[in-house]
Every structure is written in structure tokens, then in C-alpha cells.
Structure 1
Amino acid sequence: MTETTYKPVVVWSKPEAERAGTPLLVLFHGYLSNEQDLMGLVPGLPEEFTVAAVRAPVALGPGFSWFPLMHEPDFSVDKVTSAVADVWGWLDSVKDQHSSVSVLGFSMGMAVATSVMRHRPDEIAAVVGLSGFVVPADGDAFFQDEAVKSLKPAVFWGRDQADQVITPDKIEYTHAWLNENVNLTKVLYAGTGHGINAQELAHVKEFLTYKVLNAK
């Protein structure tokens, strides 16, 4: 895939005629899911946003994946950056009609959302990560982490400490990286497991309203 030919499957919350000038929120689903999975969040998000849910590029099992799982032998940082570069190729074709771009990812989708921000941090207004993780960059220049650290972008990270899906090593790395590099809002939700509850969605709405819609 190249940035000029990649056209992901995208589901939009608003018809094209109603999108111009609105803030854009891009949703990235989790492993083995699809672009419809997170659209159920839309009624709980600020209505000012145009929401676009993007399908991951690799068909796998019952759904799609952004890259191999990190413990699998075919995982590489290059596969992460390739997927994120393709996302940016698509974003470049739509972002100019919007007042800002924010990203939200669930599980593996949080790895994509944070990586999208880490590649071009000055172009992302806010990041929401739910029950997910940040990918170790291993010094890859694709990740502009020094620029991230300078800009301190607004990031919301919600999770349940009892989540059995995201392994402790990923949580430890994510916690350390976010604390060092971003303006972090971190909230724990007991009883949620590897999911999203109503209280968390309400907090996400408040975060996006404060950090994007009411940003000074």
C-alpha cells in the first residue's frame, strides 16, 4: 500500500454536505473488530464533531487488524508505521475541510491513535485512548516523540485495572510514556473489564468538549 492509493473503508456520522468546518474525530477499532464497532459511541460524543470510523487494513478471522500482535513473531515497528502512514495518507485527503482533527482508539486502536499523533503531533488536537496501549518506538524516526514532549498534547487514557487483555508490560510502558510526554488525563473504571462504560463515555465527552471545542 502507498499513501497515494490507500483508501480505507470509512463510516461517517454526518453526510458529506454537513462536514465542512466541523471538528473531526477519527475512531480506530480494536483487534479482530471492524469500523462499525465504535459507532455506537457517537450518541454519547459531542454533537459538534464529525465522527469517522476507519477499518483496519488486514482482514483476519472475524474482523480486521492494524498490525500483528506484539508477541507474535511477525510483529515489527515497521508494520505499525506502515499502517499509520496509510492512515495519514487518507487523513491528508479529508482533514482540510475540518476545523481540527482528534483521534480515539480502543485496545489496539489506542496504539494506532497514539501513533498517528506521534507522527505529526502538531496536527492532532486531542487523543482518547480506551483500554489500550502505546507502542514502543525503538528509536524509529517515524515517531516524533521529542516534538510530542515539547507540545504536551492532551491525551485521555481510560481503563480498568482488572482488564485481562492488555498485558502488564504494555500498561507499564504506556503509563511511563504518557506521563513523560503528554498532558495526561488518566481515569480508572472498576468493573469495566476490556470494555467501555457509560461513565467513561461521559468523561470522554467532557474531555473533548474542554480540550477541543472550548480550547483557548
Structure 2
Amino acid sequence: MTLSESPHLPVADRTTAPAWDPVVLWSRPAAEREGTALLVMFHGHLANEEDLMGLVDHLPPNLTVASVRGPHAMGPGFTWFPLAQDTGYSVDLVTDTVAKVASWLDSVKAGHTSVSLLGFSMGMAVATTLLRHRPRDFTAVVGLSGFVVPAEGSEFFNDDDAAAHPVPLFWGRDQEDPVITADRIEFTHRWAVAHTNLTKVLYAGIAHSISMRELAHVKEFLELTVFGIEPQPNRR
């Protein structure tokens, strides 16, 4: 992930959870999380749990943020599942990973007032697959420069329920993103229009990254969908 005008990293504590036992960075110590809204973040391919923590200072301050490390070590970082063009890719590998994430979420969500998701690149596929698996569990989803995976007939995806109970989805990207292919973008757009309450914004010139303007929009989106705070005109 490349962030225009990257902010400093916040102080965070590192914990593990039972069952899957992932590495997680938290924006608050455990004693300060009770009664807060939770935002879970998923990094992109070959990154790690530290990659998105620089976003925290630009999100609503009353959130608790948890950034999760992908389960598979690869190259300089970690990944969630093989790339679609890799010979080892299958939708079952996607759902196996997301099932583990869902189980971990079950172990930490108690005490939080709501759970929302944010994913960058492949992390958006993780976030939206979680949403499709449990459409009624999440308050809002943010996808940045990412995509949605085809279900390929897997019963893991409860898309009919997602369409019946559409969750707010913010999808930000550059139309000239050199990483996410046109077929993935087309599928993602079709799925999101049919199954979510979609807010789609294009950001020229950011390529496969996140801009400060985009973060301002994400903050407004989360303030509205999670906390019911209307955007202020003078903040745009």
C-alpha cells in the first residue's frame, strides 16, 4: 500500500487470538476497547498488519481499529490466498481463509457496539467475502483499490441475503489502477450494485494507492454509517 502524504504510525499493541491465532495490531489497549465500535482492516498482497495502521489517525477517533496479518507468508510479507492467475488459486482457499477470519472475529467482537470492515487491494476481497458470508454482521464496509471474488457456486457466499439486507459499501479506486484488471473491476461493480448500498468514488492519479482526499471521504462515510454523524460542508 502506498499512501500519499503518509501519516505517522500510531502507538499500537500486538495481540493474538485463539483458534486461528493471527497477529493483530490494535489502535487501543484492551482496557479501552469495551463499548467502542470496531473496524477491522485487511492489508493487500505481500504486505502485513502494519501496512494500514497509518490510516488510523485519519479515521473517526472513537473507533477501535484492529489490523490483521494474512495467514500465509510470501515474499516480503503475507497474503490471504493465491492470486487468481496463480495455478494454486481456488475459491475454496478464499473461503477457508475467510472462515478463519470469521472465527477469530467471533472471539473478539463481544463488547463492541458494532463491527465494520476495511480492506485494501486483496484485503477488499477478504472484507467483501466476509460480508457475503455473514451479511447481517457488519455495519459498513470500505474497499480501497480492490475487488470482489466470483463465488463459483460456493455455498459460503450468502449473496441473496446480502441483496435483501444491503450494507453500506464505500469503494474507492483510480480508473487507471495498473494492478486490478478490467474483468475484476467489471465483476466487482456488478456485484456491488446488486448487493450493497454502494458509494463509489474515482480518484484520478492515485494508481494503486490511497490518497488523503480519499481518506477524508472514508472518514465521512464511517462517521455517517457507524455513528450517524452527517458530513459538514466546510470539511470538504
Matched, 1:85 2:99: yes
Q: Distance in 1 between matches of 2:102 and 2:21?
A: 11
Matched, 1:213 2:213: no
Q: Distance in 1 between matches of 2:80 and 2:130?
A: 12
Residue 4 of structure 1: how far off its partner (Å): 6.3
Matched, 1:149 2:149: no
Residue 5 of structure 1: how far off its partner (Å): 2.2
CA displacement 1:146-185 (0-9 Å, x = unmatched): 0000001100000000100001110010011101111000
Matched residue, 1:133: 147
Matched, 1:114 2:140: no
Q: TM-score, normalised by structure 2?
A: 0.89
Q: Distance in 2 between matches of 1:7 and 1:48?
A: 26
Q: What secondary structure does 1:129 align onto?
A: strand
Q: What secondary structure does 2:109 align onto?
A: helix
Alignment of 1:1-216 (within 5 A): 5-214=19-228
**Structure (1/2) with the larger helix percentage:** 1
| Runs of 4+ off more than 6 Å | none
Identical-pair percentage: 61
Q: Distance in 2 between matches of 1:199 and 1:67?
A: 30
Q: Which amino acid aligns with 2:177?
A: D
CA RMSD of aligned residues (A): 1.1
Gaps of 5+ in 1: none
Q: TM-score, normalised by structure 1?
A: 0.97
Q: What secondary structure does 1:123 align onto?
A: coil
CA displacement 1:99-132 (0-9 Å, x = unmatched): 0000000000000000011111101100000000
Q: Which amino acid aligns with 1:28?
A: F
CA displacement 1:58-111 (0-9 Å, x = unmatched): 000000000000011110000000000000111000111100000000000000
Q: Which amino acid aligns with 1:171?
A: I
Gaps of 5+ in 2: 1-16, 230-236
Q: What secondary structure does 1:122 align onto?
A: coil
Is contact 2:18–2:107 with CA below 8 Å preserved after alignment? no
Q: What secondary structure does 2:117 align onto?
A: strand
